[in-house]
Chains A and B, each alone.
Chain A
Amino acid sequence: MGAEFVQFSLTPILIGTLAAIACALPGNFLILRRQALIGDAISHVVLPGIVVAFLLTGVVAAIPMLLGAAGAAVVAVILIEAVKRLGGIEPGAAMGVVFTTMFAAGVLILEQSDTSRVHLDVEHALMGNLESLIWFRADGWGSLLDPVALASLPDELPRIAIVCAMVVALTVLFWRWLKISTFDEGFAEALGIPSAAVGFGLVLTAAVAAVAAFDAVGSIIVIAMFICPPAAARLMTNRLERQVWWSVAFATLSAVLGYVLAGYGPLWFGATHAVSAAGMIAVVSGAILGLACLFGPHRSRIGIGRQDAA
Protein backbone atom coordinates (compact mmCIF):
# COMPACT_ATOMS: atom_id res chain seq x y z
CA MET A 1 0.00 0.00 0.00
CA GLY A 2 2.38 2.67 -1.13
CA ALA A 3 2.92 5.02 -3.99
CA GLU A 4 0.86 3.00 -6.41
CA PHE A 5 -2.12 2.93 -4.08
CA VAL A 6 -2.04 6.70 -3.60
CA GLN A 7 -1.71 7.28 -7.33
CA PHE A 8 -4.30 4.85 -8.63
CA SER A 9 -6.70 3.95 -5.84
CA LEU A 10 -6.85 6.65 -3.19
CA THR A 11 -8.75 9.27 -5.17
CA PRO A 12 -11.31 6.90 -6.74
CA ILE A 13 -12.01 5.40 -3.30
CA LEU A 14 -12.39 8.85 -1.72
CA ILE A 15 -14.64 10.07 -4.54
CA GLY A 16 -16.73 6.92 -4.40
CA THR A 17 -17.07 7.17 -0.62
CA LEU A 18 -18.00 10.86 -0.62
CA ALA A 19 -20.52 10.30 -3.41
CA ALA A 20 -22.02 7.36 -1.54
CA ILE A 21 -22.38 9.36 1.70
CA ALA A 22 -23.81 12.41 -0.09
CA CYS A 23 -26.56 10.22 -1.56
CA ALA A 24 -27.15 8.00 1.48
CA LEU A 25 -27.81 10.89 3.89
CA PRO A 26 -30.87 12.34 2.12
CA GLY A 27 -31.80 8.76 1.22
CA ASN A 28 -32.58 8.10 4.90
CA PHE A 29 -35.37 10.66 4.85
CA LEU A 30 -36.53 9.80 1.35
CA ILE A 31 -37.15 6.14 2.22
CA LEU A 32 -38.99 7.11 5.42
CA ARG A 33 -41.17 9.47 3.35
CA ARG A 34 -41.78 6.67 0.82
CA GLN A 35 -40.04 8.74 -1.82
CA ALA A 36 -37.06 6.45 -2.34
CA LEU A 37 -37.74 6.35 -6.05
CA ILE A 38 -36.89 10.01 -6.33
CA GLY A 39 -33.18 9.15 -6.47
CA ASP A 40 -33.96 6.85 -9.36
CA ALA A 41 -36.02 9.59 -10.97
CA ILE A 42 -33.32 12.21 -10.59
CA SER A 43 -30.62 10.04 -12.09
CA HIS A 44 -32.88 9.48 -15.11
CA VAL A 45 -33.93 13.07 -15.63
CA VAL A 46 -30.42 14.51 -15.57
CA LEU A 47 -29.67 12.82 -18.90
CA PRO A 48 -31.62 15.31 -21.07
CA GLY A 49 -30.06 18.15 -19.08
CA ILE A 50 -26.56 16.90 -19.78
CA VAL A 51 -27.27 16.30 -23.45
CA VAL A 52 -28.82 19.74 -23.88
CA ALA A 53 -25.86 21.32 -22.08
CA PHE A 54 -23.53 19.55 -24.51
CA LEU A 55 -25.53 20.68 -27.53
CA LEU A 56 -25.50 24.27 -26.34
CA THR A 57 -21.79 24.45 -25.48
CA GLY A 58 -20.37 21.84 -27.85
CA VAL A 59 -18.02 20.48 -25.20
CA VAL A 60 -18.18 17.80 -22.56
CA ALA A 61 -17.03 19.91 -19.64
CA ALA A 62 -17.92 19.55 -16.01
CA ILE A 63 -19.53 22.93 -15.33
CA PRO A 64 -22.02 23.05 -18.23
CA MET A 65 -22.90 19.39 -17.63
CA LEU A 66 -23.53 20.04 -13.97
CA LEU A 67 -25.61 23.11 -14.74
CA GLY A 68 -27.62 21.27 -17.39
CA ALA A 69 -28.20 18.31 -15.07
CA ALA A 70 -29.16 20.55 -12.20
CA GLY A 71 -31.54 22.48 -14.44
CA ALA A 72 -33.18 19.26 -15.62
CA ALA A 73 -33.46 18.01 -12.04
CA VAL A 74 -35.15 21.22 -10.95
CA VAL A 75 -37.53 21.07 -13.93
CA ALA A 76 -38.34 17.48 -12.99
CA VAL A 77 -38.97 18.29 -9.33
CA ILE A 78 -41.34 21.08 -10.34
CA LEU A 79 -43.08 18.83 -12.89
CA ILE A 80 -43.46 16.04 -10.33
CA GLU A 81 -44.96 18.42 -7.77
CA ALA A 82 -47.23 19.89 -10.44
CA VAL A 83 -48.45 16.50 -11.67
CA LYS A 84 -48.94 15.36 -8.08
CA ARG A 85 -50.90 18.41 -6.96
CA LEU A 86 -52.83 19.24 -10.13
CA GLY A 87 -53.59 15.63 -10.98
CA GLY A 88 -54.21 14.69 -7.36
CA ILE A 89 -52.27 11.45 -7.77
CA GLU A 90 -49.75 9.74 -5.53
CA PRO A 91 -46.08 10.79 -5.66
CA GLY A 92 -44.81 7.48 -7.06
CA ALA A 93 -47.04 7.73 -10.10
CA ALA A 94 -46.15 11.37 -10.68
CA MET A 95 -42.44 10.52 -10.57
CA GLY A 96 -42.94 7.56 -12.89
CA VAL A 97 -44.63 9.73 -15.49
CA VAL A 98 -42.09 12.54 -15.31
CA PHE A 99 -38.84 10.64 -15.16
CA THR A 100 -39.71 8.16 -17.88
CA THR A 101 -40.70 10.99 -20.20
CA MET A 102 -37.59 13.03 -19.50
CA PHE A 103 -35.24 10.06 -19.83
CA ALA A 104 -36.86 9.14 -23.14
CA ALA A 105 -36.46 12.72 -24.30
CA GLY A 106 -32.77 12.60 -23.32
CA VAL A 107 -32.16 9.39 -25.27
CA LEU A 108 -34.01 10.82 -28.26
CA ILE A 109 -31.94 14.02 -28.28
CA LEU A 110 -28.76 11.99 -27.81
CA GLU A 111 -29.67 9.78 -30.80
CA GLN A 112 -30.49 12.73 -33.01
CA SER A 113 -27.36 14.72 -32.26
CA ASP A 114 -23.78 14.01 -33.24
CA THR A 115 -21.98 13.00 -30.08
CA SER A 116 -19.85 10.32 -31.69
CA ARG A 117 -16.62 12.26 -31.35
CA VAL A 118 -17.06 12.93 -27.64
CA HIS A 119 -17.24 10.72 -24.60
CA LEU A 120 -20.95 11.03 -24.06
CA ASP A 121 -22.87 7.80 -24.27
CA VAL A 122 -25.21 5.62 -22.31
CA GLU A 123 -22.37 3.59 -20.78
CA HIS A 124 -20.74 6.71 -19.36
CA ALA A 125 -24.05 7.85 -17.98
CA LEU A 126 -24.60 4.52 -16.23
CA MET A 127 -21.12 3.65 -14.97
CA GLY A 128 -19.33 6.98 -14.69
CA ASN A 129 -15.56 6.74 -14.92
CA LEU A 130 -14.41 6.11 -11.40
CA GLU A 131 -11.31 4.10 -12.41
CA SER A 132 -9.98 6.95 -14.52
CA LEU A 133 -10.08 9.49 -11.69
CA ILE A 134 -6.48 8.83 -10.75
CA TRP A 135 -3.95 11.20 -9.21
CA PHE A 136 -1.19 11.44 -11.84
CA ARG A 137 1.25 13.57 -9.92
CA ALA A 138 1.16 11.57 -6.72
CA ASP A 139 4.19 9.50 -5.85
CA GLY A 140 3.35 8.34 -2.35
CA TRP A 141 1.65 9.43 0.84
CA GLY A 142 3.99 12.44 0.98
CA SER A 143 2.07 13.92 -1.95
CA LEU A 144 -0.78 14.70 0.43
CA LEU A 145 1.45 17.50 1.79
CA ASP A 146 2.84 18.59 -1.57
CA PRO A 147 0.98 21.62 -2.97
CA VAL A 148 2.11 20.92 -6.52
CA ALA A 149 0.80 17.36 -6.43
CA LEU A 150 -2.38 18.43 -4.65
CA ALA A 151 -3.08 20.91 -7.43
CA SER A 152 -3.36 18.01 -9.87
CA LEU A 153 -6.03 16.15 -7.94
CA PRO A 154 -8.91 15.24 -10.22
CA ASP A 155 -11.53 18.04 -10.24
CA GLU A 156 -14.20 15.59 -9.21
CA LEU A 157 -12.69 15.16 -5.75
CA PRO A 158 -13.02 18.74 -4.43
CA ARG A 159 -16.39 19.02 -6.15
CA ILE A 160 -17.93 15.95 -4.52
CA ALA A 161 -16.21 16.85 -1.24
CA ILE A 162 -17.91 20.25 -1.20
CA VAL A 163 -21.29 18.75 -2.06
CA CYS A 164 -20.88 16.04 0.58
CA ALA A 165 -19.92 18.64 3.20
CA MET A 166 -22.97 20.70 2.21
CA VAL A 167 -25.28 17.69 2.54
CA VAL A 168 -23.83 16.88 5.97
CA ALA A 169 -24.20 20.50 7.09
CA LEU A 170 -27.82 20.73 5.91
CA THR A 171 -28.68 17.43 7.59
CA VAL A 172 -27.25 18.61 10.91
CA LEU A 173 -28.68 22.12 10.66
CA PHE A 174 -32.22 21.07 9.74
CA TRP A 175 -32.26 17.83 11.73
CA ARG A 176 -35.28 18.69 13.89
CA TRP A 177 -37.32 19.99 10.95
CA LEU A 178 -36.47 16.91 8.90
CA LYS A 179 -37.28 14.51 11.71
CA ILE A 180 -40.55 16.07 12.84
CA SER A 181 -41.93 16.78 9.38
CA THR A 182 -40.93 13.33 8.09
CA PHE A 183 -42.69 11.63 10.98
CA ASP A 184 -45.78 13.84 11.23
CA GLU A 185 -46.24 16.49 8.58
CA GLY A 186 -49.50 17.83 9.99
CA PHE A 187 -48.07 18.25 13.48
CA ALA A 188 -44.99 19.95 12.02
CA GLU A 189 -47.20 22.47 10.19
CA ALA A 190 -49.14 23.11 13.38
CA LEU A 191 -45.83 23.86 15.14
CA GLY A 192 -45.07 26.44 12.46
CA ILE A 193 -42.42 24.30 10.71
CA PRO A 194 -42.63 24.91 6.94
CA SER A 195 -43.16 21.23 6.08
CA ALA A 196 -43.66 21.72 2.37
CA ALA A 197 -40.45 23.74 2.10
CA VAL A 198 -38.59 21.09 4.11
CA GLY A 199 -39.79 18.39 1.73
CA PHE A 200 -38.86 20.49 -1.28
CA GLY A 201 -35.44 21.31 0.18
CA LEU A 202 -34.79 17.64 0.85
CA VAL A 203 -35.57 16.69 -2.74
CA LEU A 204 -33.47 19.57 -4.03
CA THR A 205 -30.53 18.51 -1.83
CA ALA A 206 -30.90 14.96 -3.08
CA ALA A 207 -30.89 16.30 -6.64
CA VAL A 208 -27.67 18.23 -6.09
CA ALA A 209 -26.04 15.18 -4.50
CA ALA A 210 -27.23 12.99 -7.35
CA VAL A 211 -25.90 15.32 -10.04
CA ALA A 212 -22.51 15.75 -8.37
CA ALA A 213 -22.22 12.00 -7.85
CA PHE A 214 -23.51 11.24 -11.34
CA ASP A 215 -20.71 13.29 -12.84
CA ALA A 216 -18.05 11.19 -11.11
CA VAL A 217 -19.52 7.77 -10.63
CA GLY A 218 -22.55 7.38 -12.92
CA SER A 219 -26.18 6.75 -12.19
CA ILE A 220 -25.89 3.13 -10.97
CA ILE A 221 -24.16 4.19 -7.77
CA VAL A 222 -26.55 7.09 -7.33
CA ILE A 223 -29.61 4.85 -7.51
CA ALA A 224 -28.04 2.22 -5.24
CA MET A 225 -26.78 4.68 -2.62
CA PHE A 226 -30.07 6.50 -2.19
CA ILE A 227 -31.76 3.26 -1.23
CA CYS A 228 -29.45 0.40 -0.15
CA PRO A 229 -27.43 1.90 2.75
CA PRO A 230 -30.43 3.68 4.37
CA ALA A 231 -32.69 0.67 3.91
CA ALA A 232 -30.08 -1.67 5.41
CA ALA A 233 -29.51 0.85 8.21
CA ARG A 234 -33.24 0.92 9.02
CA LEU A 235 -33.01 -2.82 9.73
CA MET A 236 -30.15 -2.31 12.20
CA THR A 237 -31.84 0.08 14.63
CA ASN A 238 -35.10 1.66 15.72
CA ARG A 239 -33.59 5.11 16.27
CA LEU A 240 -33.36 7.63 13.46
CA GLU A 241 -30.08 9.06 14.79
CA ARG A 242 -28.43 5.65 14.77
CA GLN A 243 -29.99 4.76 11.43
CA VAL A 244 -28.23 7.74 9.82
CA TRP A 245 -24.87 6.69 11.31
CA TRP A 246 -25.37 3.12 10.12
CA SER A 247 -26.21 4.38 6.62
CA VAL A 248 -22.98 6.39 6.50
CA ALA A 249 -21.03 3.32 7.64
CA PHE A 250 -22.70 1.10 5.03
CA ALA A 251 -22.16 3.67 2.27
CA THR A 252 -18.46 3.90 3.16
CA LEU A 253 -18.11 0.12 3.38
CA SER A 254 -19.81 -0.32 0.00
CA ALA A 255 -17.57 2.21 -1.71
CA VAL A 256 -14.27 0.91 -0.28
CA LEU A 257 -15.06 -2.79 -0.49
CA GLY A 258 -16.70 -2.42 -3.89
CA TYR A 259 -13.69 -0.62 -5.36
CA VAL A 260 -11.22 -3.14 -3.96
CA LEU A 261 -13.30 -6.12 -5.08
CA ALA A 262 -13.72 -4.67 -8.56
CA GLY A 263 -10.00 -4.07 -8.92
CA TYR A 264 -8.59 -7.18 -7.31
CA GLY A 265 -11.50 -9.61 -6.93
CA PRO A 266 -11.45 -10.96 -10.49
CA LEU A 267 -7.69 -11.49 -10.29
CA TRP A 268 -8.15 -13.71 -7.24
CA PHE A 269 -10.40 -15.90 -9.34
CA GLY A 270 -7.91 -16.08 -12.16
CA ALA A 271 -9.52 -13.52 -14.46
CA THR A 272 -7.27 -11.06 -16.20
CA HIS A 273 -9.45 -7.93 -16.20
CA ALA A 274 -10.92 -5.86 -13.44
CA VAL A 275 -14.67 -5.23 -13.48
CA SER A 276 -16.54 -1.91 -13.23
CA ALA A 277 -15.94 -0.29 -9.86
CA ALA A 278 -19.28 1.54 -9.95
CA GLY A 279 -21.10 -1.70 -10.70
CA MET A 280 -19.27 -3.56 -7.93
CA ILE A 281 -19.96 -0.80 -5.38
CA ALA A 282 -23.66 -1.05 -6.17
CA VAL A 283 -23.49 -4.85 -5.90
CA VAL A 284 -21.78 -4.65 -2.49
CA SER A 285 -24.42 -2.22 -1.21
CA GLY A 286 -27.10 -4.62 -2.42
CA ALA A 287 -25.35 -7.51 -0.68
CA ILE A 288 -25.22 -5.50 2.55
CA LEU A 289 -28.95 -4.85 2.26
CA GLY A 290 -29.52 -8.55 1.65
CA LEU A 291 -27.51 -9.47 4.76
CA ALA A 292 -29.35 -6.85 6.81
CA CYS A 293 -32.67 -8.33 5.65
CA LEU A 294 -31.53 -11.79 6.78
CA PHE A 295 -29.69 -10.92 9.99
CA GLY A 296 -30.48 -7.31 10.94
CA PRO A 297 -31.78 -7.08 14.51
CA HIS A 298 -34.93 -5.18 13.51
CA ARG A 299 -35.78 -7.04 10.33
CA SER A 300 -38.83 -8.57 12.01
CA ARG A 301 -40.66 -5.31 11.51
CA ILE A 302 -40.73 -5.70 7.76
CA GLY A 303 -44.30 -6.01 6.58
CA ILE A 304 -45.93 -5.67 9.98
CA GLY A 305 -47.23 -2.59 11.69
CA ARG A 306 -48.62 -1.47 8.35
CA GLN A 307 -52.22 -1.59 9.41
CA ASP A 308 -51.91 1.96 10.69
CA ALA A 309 -50.42 3.38 7.54
CA ALA A 310 -53.12 5.57 6.08
Chain B
Amino acid sequence: MVAAQDGRIAQEPPPSDAALAVRGLTVSYGEKPAVFSVDATFPAKTMSAIIGPNGAGKSTLLKAALGVIPRLSGEILVFGKPIDQARDRIAYVPQRASVDWDFPTTVLDVVQMGLYRKVGLLGRLSGAMAARARDCLARVGMQDFAHRQIGQLSGGQQQRVFLARALAQDADLYLLDEPFAGVDAATERAIIDVLKTLQSEGKAVVAVHHDLSTVRDYFDHVFLINVRRIAEGPVATTFTAETLQATYGGRLAATHLDELAVAGGAQ
Protein backbone atom coordinates (compact mmCIF):
# COMPACT_ATOMS: atom_id res chain seq x y z
CA MET B 1 0.00 0.00 0.00
CA VAL B 2 1.42 3.36 -0.96
CA ALA B 3 -0.90 5.54 1.08
CA ALA B 4 0.58 8.69 2.52
CA GLN B 5 4.03 7.33 1.84
CA ASP B 6 5.78 10.65 2.14
CA GLY B 7 3.52 12.23 4.73
CA ARG B 8 2.75 15.08 2.35
CA ILE B 9 -0.64 13.72 1.38
CA ALA B 10 -1.89 13.98 4.92
CA GLN B 11 -1.95 17.76 4.73
CA GLU B 12 -4.19 19.54 2.30
CA PRO B 13 -1.83 20.09 -0.59
CA PRO B 14 -2.21 23.29 -2.58
CA PRO B 15 -4.56 22.71 -5.52
CA SER B 16 -1.76 22.84 -8.09
CA ASP B 17 -0.27 19.65 -6.67
CA ALA B 18 -3.55 17.82 -6.63
CA ALA B 19 -4.94 15.74 -9.48
CA LEU B 20 -8.37 17.18 -8.76
CA ALA B 21 -9.17 20.08 -6.47
CA VAL B 22 -12.70 21.23 -5.80
CA ARG B 23 -13.33 24.51 -3.99
CA GLY B 24 -16.68 25.77 -2.74
CA LEU B 25 -18.78 23.45 -4.91
CA THR B 26 -22.55 23.73 -4.54
CA VAL B 27 -24.99 21.84 -6.75
CA SER B 28 -28.75 21.77 -6.50
CA TYR B 29 -31.37 19.80 -8.40
CA GLY B 30 -34.29 21.58 -6.83
CA GLU B 31 -34.57 23.69 -3.74
CA LYS B 32 -32.38 21.50 -1.56
CA PRO B 33 -28.68 21.43 -2.38
CA ALA B 34 -27.35 18.00 -3.34
CA VAL B 35 -23.80 19.12 -2.64
CA PHE B 36 -23.20 22.12 -0.42
CA SER B 37 -20.07 24.24 -0.28
CA VAL B 38 -17.69 21.32 -0.68
CA ASP B 39 -13.91 21.55 -0.74
CA ALA B 40 -12.20 18.37 -1.87
CA THR B 41 -8.63 17.57 -2.80
CA PHE B 42 -7.70 14.35 -4.54
CA PRO B 43 -3.93 13.81 -4.61
CA ALA B 44 -1.98 12.78 -7.67
CA LYS B 45 -0.71 9.19 -8.07
CA THR B 46 -3.26 8.00 -5.54
CA MET B 47 -6.36 5.80 -5.43
CA SER B 48 -9.12 7.84 -3.82
CA ALA B 49 -12.65 6.81 -2.84
CA ILE B 50 -15.67 9.08 -2.50
CA ILE B 51 -17.82 7.56 0.22
CA GLY B 52 -21.19 8.41 1.67
CA PRO B 53 -24.78 7.18 2.02
CA ASN B 54 -27.31 7.12 -0.83
CA GLY B 55 -28.30 10.61 -1.87
CA ALA B 56 -25.25 12.13 -0.19
CA GLY B 57 -24.08 13.71 -3.44
CA LYS B 58 -21.21 11.37 -4.35
CA SER B 59 -22.05 11.05 -8.04
CA THR B 60 -23.21 14.65 -8.12
CA LEU B 61 -19.81 15.79 -6.87
CA LEU B 62 -18.11 13.84 -9.65
CA LYS B 63 -20.48 14.97 -12.41
CA ALA B 64 -20.42 18.61 -11.35
CA ALA B 65 -16.62 18.55 -11.20
CA LEU B 66 -16.63 17.31 -14.82
CA GLY B 67 -19.22 19.84 -15.91
CA VAL B 68 -21.69 17.08 -16.81
CA ILE B 69 -24.26 18.81 -14.61
CA PRO B 70 -24.27 22.55 -13.93
CA ARG B 71 -22.90 23.88 -10.65
CA LEU B 72 -24.29 26.81 -8.72
CA SER B 73 -20.88 27.78 -7.51
CA GLY B 74 -17.43 26.35 -7.18
CA GLU B 75 -14.04 26.17 -8.75
CA ILE B 76 -12.57 23.01 -10.25
CA LEU B 77 -8.87 22.58 -10.85
CA VAL B 78 -7.38 19.56 -12.62
CA PHE B 79 -3.62 19.40 -12.12
CA GLY B 80 -3.81 23.08 -11.23
CA LYS B 81 -5.64 24.09 -14.42
CA PRO B 82 -9.29 24.95 -15.07
CA ILE B 83 -11.15 21.85 -16.19
CA ASP B 84 -11.70 23.05 -19.77
CA GLN B 85 -7.95 23.28 -20.28
CA ALA B 86 -7.39 19.83 -18.86
CA ARG B 87 -10.01 17.67 -20.58
CA ASP B 88 -7.34 15.68 -22.42
CA ARG B 89 -5.98 14.56 -19.05
CA ILE B 90 -9.28 13.23 -17.70
CA ALA B 91 -10.99 9.92 -18.30
CA TYR B 92 -14.52 9.32 -17.07
CA VAL B 93 -16.48 6.15 -16.40
CA PRO B 94 -20.16 7.01 -15.83
CA GLN B 95 -22.54 4.72 -13.97
CA ARG B 96 -23.26 1.70 -16.11
CA ALA B 97 -27.00 2.14 -15.64
CA SER B 98 -26.89 5.69 -17.04
CA VAL B 99 -26.90 4.55 -20.67
CA ASP B 100 -29.18 2.45 -22.86
CA TRP B 101 -27.27 -0.75 -23.61
CA ASP B 102 -29.71 -1.52 -26.39
CA PHE B 103 -27.98 1.19 -28.43
CA PRO B 104 -26.99 -0.14 -31.87
CA THR B 105 -23.25 -0.24 -31.49
CA THR B 106 -20.44 -2.70 -30.91
CA VAL B 107 -17.98 -3.13 -28.06
CA LEU B 108 -15.07 -1.82 -30.17
CA ASP B 109 -17.14 1.16 -31.26
CA VAL B 110 -17.77 2.16 -27.65
CA VAL B 111 -14.07 1.90 -26.82
CA GLN B 112 -13.25 4.06 -29.84
CA MET B 113 -15.48 6.79 -28.41
CA GLY B 114 -12.67 7.21 -25.88
CA LEU B 115 -10.41 8.31 -28.73
CA TYR B 116 -12.66 11.27 -29.59
CA ARG B 117 -10.32 13.94 -28.18
CA LYS B 118 -7.55 12.62 -30.40
CA VAL B 119 -9.63 12.02 -33.51
CA GLY B 120 -11.80 15.14 -33.33
CA LEU B 121 -15.16 15.73 -34.95
CA LEU B 122 -14.16 14.91 -38.52
CA GLY B 123 -10.73 13.29 -38.26
CA ARG B 124 -10.09 9.80 -39.52
CA LEU B 125 -9.40 7.01 -37.08
CA SER B 126 -5.86 5.93 -37.92
CA GLY B 127 -4.71 2.34 -37.86
CA ALA B 128 -2.57 3.06 -34.84
CA MET B 129 -5.56 4.44 -32.95
CA ALA B 130 -7.74 1.46 -33.90
CA ALA B 131 -4.97 -0.83 -32.64
CA ARG B 132 -4.88 1.19 -29.43
CA ALA B 133 -8.62 0.64 -28.90
CA ARG B 134 -8.11 -3.13 -29.31
CA ASP B 135 -5.22 -3.00 -26.89
CA CYS B 136 -7.41 -1.29 -24.29
CA LEU B 137 -10.03 -4.03 -24.74
CA ALA B 138 -7.35 -6.64 -24.17
CA ARG B 139 -6.29 -4.93 -20.94
CA VAL B 140 -9.74 -5.60 -19.49
CA GLY B 141 -9.90 -9.10 -20.97
CA MET B 142 -12.60 -8.28 -23.52
CA GLN B 143 -10.64 -8.65 -26.77
CA ASP B 144 -12.80 -11.58 -27.91
CA PHE B 145 -15.97 -9.48 -27.69
CA ALA B 146 -14.89 -6.61 -29.97
CA HIS B 147 -17.69 -7.07 -32.48
CA ARG B 148 -20.50 -7.98 -30.10
CA GLN B 149 -23.49 -5.70 -29.78
CA ILE B 150 -23.15 -4.13 -26.33
CA GLY B 151 -26.58 -5.29 -25.19
CA GLN B 152 -25.44 -8.91 -25.44
CA LEU B 153 -22.93 -8.46 -22.62
CA SER B 154 -23.35 -9.22 -18.94
CA GLY B 155 -23.25 -6.36 -16.44
CA GLY B 156 -19.66 -7.09 -15.54
CA GLN B 157 -18.62 -7.21 -19.19
CA GLN B 158 -20.36 -3.90 -19.84
CA GLN B 159 -18.45 -2.34 -16.95
CA ARG B 160 -15.17 -3.63 -18.41
CA VAL B 161 -16.04 -2.07 -21.76
CA PHE B 162 -16.62 1.27 -20.03
CA LEU B 163 -13.25 0.92 -18.33
CA ALA B 164 -11.61 0.11 -21.66
CA ARG B 165 -13.16 3.25 -23.13
CA ALA B 166 -11.64 5.27 -20.28
CA LEU B 167 -8.26 3.61 -20.88
CA ALA B 168 -8.48 4.66 -24.53
CA GLN B 169 -8.69 8.26 -23.29
CA ASP B 170 -5.09 7.82 -22.13
CA ALA B 171 -5.57 10.23 -19.23
CA ASP B 172 -3.72 11.13 -16.05
CA LEU B 173 -6.83 11.32 -13.89
CA TYR B 174 -9.47 8.59 -13.95
CA LEU B 175 -12.91 9.40 -12.51
CA LEU B 176 -15.19 6.41 -11.98
CA ASP B 177 -18.79 6.45 -10.82
CA GLU B 178 -19.54 3.25 -8.89
CA PRO B 179 -17.33 0.99 -11.03
CA PHE B 180 -18.13 -2.07 -8.91
CA ALA B 181 -21.92 -1.71 -8.84
CA GLY B 182 -23.62 -4.91 -9.94
CA VAL B 183 -20.53 -6.66 -11.28
CA ASP B 184 -19.34 -10.20 -10.62
CA ALA B 185 -16.36 -10.95 -8.38
CA ALA B 186 -14.05 -11.75 -11.30
CA THR B 187 -14.83 -8.41 -12.93
CA GLU B 188 -14.29 -6.55 -9.66
CA ARG B 189 -10.89 -8.21 -9.40
CA ALA B 190 -10.05 -7.39 -13.02
CA ILE B 191 -11.11 -3.75 -12.61
CA ILE B 192 -9.12 -3.24 -9.42
CA ASP B 193 -6.06 -4.79 -11.07
CA VAL B 194 -6.32 -2.34 -13.95
CA LEU B 195 -6.77 0.59 -11.58
CA LYS B 196 -3.79 -0.45 -9.45
CA THR B 197 -1.71 -0.71 -12.61
CA LEU B 198 -2.77 2.81 -13.55
CA GLN B 199 -1.73 4.02 -10.13
CA SER B 200 1.64 2.32 -10.45
CA GLU B 201 2.08 4.20 -13.74
CA GLY B 202 1.60 7.45 -11.81
CA LYS B 203 -2.05 8.09 -12.64
CA ALA B 204 -4.63 9.32 -10.16
CA VAL B 205 -7.86 7.37 -9.67
CA VAL B 206 -10.99 8.74 -8.01
CA ALA B 207 -13.96 6.40 -7.61
CA VAL B 208 -17.39 6.75 -6.09
CA HIS B 209 -17.48 3.68 -3.89
CA HIS B 210 -20.25 1.90 -2.02
CA ASP B 211 -18.74 -1.13 -0.37
CA LEU B 212 -17.21 -0.04 2.92
CA SER B 213 -15.65 -3.46 3.49
CA THR B 214 -13.25 -3.10 0.56
CA VAL B 215 -12.18 0.51 1.12
CA ARG B 216 -9.03 -0.42 3.01
CA ASP B 217 -7.98 -2.99 0.40
CA TYR B 218 -8.57 -0.84 -2.65
CA PHE B 219 -7.93 2.77 -1.72
CA ASP B 220 -5.27 4.99 -0.15
CA HIS B 221 -7.28 8.15 0.27
CA VAL B 222 -10.93 8.72 1.22
CA PHE B 223 -13.34 11.59 0.90
CA LEU B 224 -16.42 11.26 3.11
CA ILE B 225 -19.44 13.24 2.06
CA ASN B 226 -23.00 13.73 3.14
CA VAL B 227 -24.06 16.79 1.15
CA ARG B 228 -21.24 18.60 2.99
CA ARG B 229 -17.70 17.39 3.36
CA ILE B 230 -17.39 15.24 6.47
CA ALA B 231 -13.73 14.26 6.30
CA GLU B 232 -10.90 13.62 3.89
CA GLY B 233 -7.44 12.18 4.11
CA PRO B 234 -5.47 8.95 4.03
CA VAL B 235 -7.51 5.81 4.66
CA ALA B 236 -5.34 4.84 7.61
CA THR B 237 -6.18 7.96 9.59
CA THR B 238 -9.44 9.21 8.12
CA PHE B 239 -11.48 6.04 7.57
CA THR B 240 -12.49 5.56 11.21
CA ALA B 241 -15.58 4.61 13.14
CA GLU B 242 -16.03 8.26 14.18
CA THR B 243 -15.94 9.73 10.67
CA LEU B 244 -18.18 6.95 9.34
CA GLN B 245 -20.64 7.58 12.14
CA ALA B 246 -20.60 11.27 11.27
CA THR B 247 -21.13 10.47 7.56
CA TYR B 248 -23.84 7.85 7.85
CA GLY B 249 -25.50 9.08 11.03
CA GLY B 250 -27.61 6.36 12.55
CA ARG B 251 -27.87 4.50 9.28
CA LEU B 252 -24.82 2.34 9.89
CA ALA B 253 -25.26 -0.39 12.48
CA ALA B 254 -22.83 -0.26 15.39
CA THR B 255 -21.74 -3.84 14.69
CA HIS B 256 -20.84 -2.91 11.13
CA LEU B 257 -18.74 -0.02 12.40
CA ASP B 258 -16.98 -2.33 14.85
CA GLU B 259 -16.12 -4.76 12.06
CA LEU B 260 -14.65 -1.98 9.96
CA ALA B 261 -12.72 -0.66 12.94
CA VAL B 262 -11.38 -4.15 13.67
CA ALA B 263 -10.38 -4.60 10.04
CA GLY B 264 -8.60 -1.29 10.30
CA GLY B 265 -6.86 -2.26 13.50
CA ALA B 266 -5.61 -5.47 11.93
CA GLN B 267 -3.85 -3.56 9.20
Show the binding face of A for B, using Cβ within 8 Å.
Answer: 32, 88, 173-174, 176-177, 179-180, 182-187, 189-193, 234, 237-240, 243, 301, 305-306, 308-310
Contacts and interface: CB of A to CB of B under 8 A. Distances in A.
A187 B165 CA distance: 10
Contacts of B175: 190
A176 to B, nearest CB: 6
Given A180-B116, A183-B113, A240-B104, 20 more contacts: A88-B30, A173-B122, A179-B113, A183-B99, A186-B63, A190-B66, A190-B67, A190-B175, A191-B87, A192-B84, A192-B117, A234-B104, A239-B104, A239-B105, A243-B104, A305-B101, A305-B151, A308-B97, A308-B158, A309-B97
B51 to A, nearest CB: 21
B105 A190 contact: no
Nearest to B119: A176
Contacts of B68: 185-186, 189-190
B104 A187 contact: no
A187 B96 contact: no
Contacts of A192: 84, 87, 117
B11 interface: no
- What secondary structure prevails in chain A residues at the interface with B? helix
B98 interface: yes
B43 interface: no
Contacts of A243: 104
A308 B101 contact: yes
Interface of B: 30, 63, 66-68, 84, 87, 90, 92, 94-106, 109-110, 113, 116-117, 119, 121-122, 149, 151, 155, 158, 165, 175
Contacts, number: 91
13 contacts: A174-B121, A179-B113, A180-B116, A182-B103, A183-B99, A190-B94, A191-B116, A234-B104, A237-B104, A238-B104, A240-B105, A301-B151, A310-B97
B102 A306 contact: yes
A239 B117 CA distance: 22
B149 A308 contact: no
A169 to B, nearest CB: 12
B102 A189 contact: no
Contacts of B102: 301, 305-306, 309
A187 B121 contact: no
B34 to A, nearest CB: 13
Given A88-B30, A177-B121, A240-B105, A310 B116 contact: no
A189 B66 contact: yes
Contacts of A180: 113, 116
A309 B95 CA distance: 11
B195 to A, nearest CB: 18
Contact of A32 (B92, B103, B110): B103
Nearest to B155: A308
Contact of B116 (A176, A186, A237): A176
Contacts of A174: 121
B92 to A, nearest CB: 4
A238 B106 contact: yes
